[in-house]
Amino acid sequence: MTEIERSSRNNLEGIGGWLNPSRYGWERISYWFQRLTGVFLLIYFIGHVYETSTIVNGQNAWESFLELTQTGWGHLFLIMVIGASTFHSANGIRLIFTHVGIGLGTPGRPDYPYSPASLNYRQKSGIWIALILAAAAMFYGFNVLFGV
Amino acid sequence: MIMSNTAENKNEKKIRLKVYRENRGQDSGSHYDTFEVPYKKWTTVLDALLYVKSYMDPSVAIRYSCRMASCGSCGMKINGIPKLACYTKISELETSTIECEPLPNFPIIRDLVTDFSRFFDHHKSMHPYIEAKESSVDDTRKGTFSFYQSPEDVDKYLQFSYCIKCGLCYSACPTVGTDVNFPGPQALAQQYRYFADTRDESAKRLDIVDDRHGIWRCHFAGSCSKVCPKGVDPALGIQLLKSYMLGISKNDKVPAKKIEVESIDNRYNSSAKTE
């Protein structure tokens, strides 16, 4: 493909364009959530590897680090992890299906008012299921961690 | 600064048009000018902008041609969303102020006019034409044969051939917004359009888009299909192309049969003789 020179006057939306996902409907919101949860989970996994590696410094070091997650803020953070991982997984499965052409509909002759086949009810249902599953998992996590 | 034409009827409904102004040639920075424009229920944003040019400020730069969503020239960001100005009625927007800005992801030339060079470069890089082994452009010009395609064969690509290259999908795509080397939804959908065409026999189509900045950078945000004014649904074409590349969908395309037909010259000569 043609390599195109980057220019400072490209008028690119950049990452700023991701910050207002509501302009383009649920599919764009799900795209934004998928990115956001992906970055959040990456940060969590780096922290998690660091946390588990403290065991090489002895049991005291391990337990003192573990205490961080036993606070109210620690619990809230873990609830966020539960929600992010559930949404990212469920929505990721939907996206795997779309990338192999499943659940998108077939090309046809478009009639006005145009309704894109790829943005169909199956995709919207998939996004809603991912959101509901994430909310349910967070609710369950809240009950377990805060013992309500 | 708000500019209005006081000679108009006071009972007329008016809309406030906030227009982005920038001149790359002068490099004097950017600002917005606001105009109060009379409108009726059928007035489009393009009509309003042309009113501004005619009666208030002729220096406002816009690009337009057909005024009927066929040429794809008047794409701009209207109230934050890429739209065709000729296809967007003021009454449908239901706001008191309409903000007109140049299409994002396209370099600005002046005011609402953007540079499509990069967009068309990507389009050209997809080889957007039928490549058949045993027939050249000259053969088709002679008109000695024709390709047979069933209606089902046509339905596989027809939708994608309705693209008017207005650039709205390119402008809405979040991946283009962070990677200028990504071909964008328009170019990738056109690659599928020719890939699905039974007249095309090119073996290189999938290789063209199988690149670090290529089709795999599409994560199906669907914004391209949302803004397309012609119902092309680029996101569908891109995902279907991916499924062929992953080997999930089998490429069972049967090349279109070539049917010998009487040449145009012969037809002309024979009809001339009968007369």
DSSP-assigned letters across all residues of B88-148: -BHHHH--SEEEEEPPTTS-EEETTEE--HHHHHHHHHT--S---TT--HHHHHHT-EEEE
Task: Tell me which residue in A4, A17, A107 faces B174 most closely, judged by beta carbons.
Answer: A17
Q: Could you report the per-residue pLDDT of A68-93, keeping only the tens digit for each?
A: 888 999 999 999 999 999 999 999 99
Flag whether pLDDT at A9 surpasses 80: no
Domain B117-258 in CATH 1.10.1060.10? The answer is yes
Per-residue pLDDT of chain B (275 residues; tens, 9 = 90+): 566 665 556 668 999 999 999 988 787 789 999 999 999 999 999 999 999 999 999 999 999 999 999 999 999 999 999 999 999 999 999 999 999 999 999 999 999 999 999 999 999 999 999 988 766 666 666 667 778 899 999 999 999 999 999 999 999 999 999 999 999 999 999 999 999 999 999 989 999 999 999 999 999 999 999 999 999 999 999 999 999 999 998 877 888 888 877 766 666 666 666 66
Higher model confidence: residue B217 or residue A61? B217
In a domain, A77, yes or no: yes
Amino acid B136: pLDDT: 63
Q: Is residue A138 part of a domain?
A: yes
A29: its two tokens: 């919101």
A7 inside domain: no
Residue A6 inside a domain? The answer is: no
User: Residue A8 has what pLDDT?
Assistant: 43
- B230 touches A at CB < 8 Å: yes
Q: Is residue A59 part of a domain?
A: yes
Range of the domain at A34: 23-102+114-146
Torsion sign (Cα): A96, A100, A102, A105: positive
CATH number at residue A137: 1.20.1300.10
Question: Best of A7, A18, A94, A114 to disrupt the B interface by mutation (most B CBs within 10 Å)?
Answer: A114
What's the domain count of chain A? Answer: 1
Distance from CA of A43 to the nearest CA of B (A): 21
Paired tokens of B10: 């006071």
A52 part of a folded domain: yes
Amino acid found at B52: V
Strand partners for B19: B33, B100
What does the block give as tokens for A148? Answer: 């309500």
Q: Which of B174, B208, B228 sits opposite A1 (nearest CB)?
A: B208
B236–A118: do the CB atoms touch at under 8 Å? yes
Q: What is the pLDDT of residue A30?
A: 96
User: Is A10 a domain residue?
Assistant: no
Q: Does some domain include residue A2?
A: no
Q: Is the pLDDT of residue A17 over 60?
A: yes
Which CATH code for domain B2-114?
A: 3.10.20.30
| pLDDT band per the 50, 70, 90 thresholds, residue A4 | very low
The proportion of chain A whose per-residue pLDDT surpasses 70, expressed as a percent, equals 93
